[in-house]
Homo-oligomer: A and B are copies of this chain.
Amino acid sequence: MSGALLATLREVVGAAHVLTRDTHDLSAYERDWRQRAHGHALGVVRPGSTAEVAAVVRACAAHGASLVPQGGNTGLVVGSVPDGSGTQVVLSLQRMNAVRAIDRANLTMTVEAGCVLQSVQQAAEAEGLLFPLSLAAEGSCTIGGNLATNAGGTQVLRYGNARELCLGLEVVTPEGEVWHGLTGLRKDNTGYDLRDLFVGSEGTLGVITAATLKLFPPPAARLTAWAAVPTLQSAVDLLGLAQQRLAAGLTGFEVMGQFALSLVDRHMPPLRVPLWRQSPYCVLLENSDSEGEDHARTQFEGLLEAAIERGLVSDAVVAESIAQARGLWHIRESIPLAQAQEGLNIKHDISLPVSRIPAFCDETDARLAREIPGVRLVNFGHLGDGNLHYNVQAPAGEDAKKFLQTQETRVNQLVFDAVARYDGSISAEHGVGSLKVEHLAHFKDPVALALMRRIKQAIDPHNRLNPGRVIQ
Contact = CB atoms under 8 A, between A and B. Distances in A.
Interface of A: 103-108, 149-150, 152, 156-158, 160-161, 163-164, 173, 177-181, 183-194, 196-197, 199-201, 205, 216-217, 219, 236-237, 239-240, 243-249, 290-291, 299, 351-356, 382, 385-387, 423-432, 436, 440, 443-445, 447-452, 454-459, 470-471
Nearest to A168: B423
Contact of A440 (B152, B191, B201): B191
A387 B186 contact: yes
B452 A191 contact: yes
A187 B385 contact: yes
A233 B107 CA distance: 15
B194 A448 contact: yes
A126 to B, nearest CB: 17
A197 B189 contact: no
A359 to B, nearest CB: 11
A104 B355 contact: yes
Contacts of A354: 105-107
Contact of A193 (B177, B197, B217, B440): B197
Nearest 9 CB-CB pairings of A with B: A248-B248, A105-B355, A458-B458, A247-B290, A196-B196, A188-B425, A187-B428, A217-B244, A179-B447
Given A181-B448, A217-B244, A451-B459, A193 B200 contact: yes
A456 B158 CA distance: 34
A247 B244 contact: no
A103 to B, nearest CB: 5
Contact of A425 (B160, B187, B193): B187
Contacts of A164: 160, 164
Given A156-B186, A186-B156, A355 B425 contact: no
A183 B104 contact: no
Given A219-B247, A249-B290, A355 B187 contact: no
A355 B110 CA distance: 14
Contact of A245 (B187, B290, B452, B457): B290
A177 B447 contact: yes
Contacts of A382: 187
B192 A447 contact: no
Given A193-B199, A355-B106, A454-B458, A188 B428 contact: yes
A283 to B, nearest CB: 15
A248 B159 CA distance: 11
A388 to B, nearest CB: 10
A108 to B, nearest CB: 7
A203 to B, nearest CB: 12
A275 to B, nearest CB: 24
B429 A184 contact: no
A187 B459 contact: no
Residue among A150, A192, A470 with most chain B CB within 10 A: A192
Contacts of A299: 291
Given A185-B425, A197-B196, A191 B247 contact: no
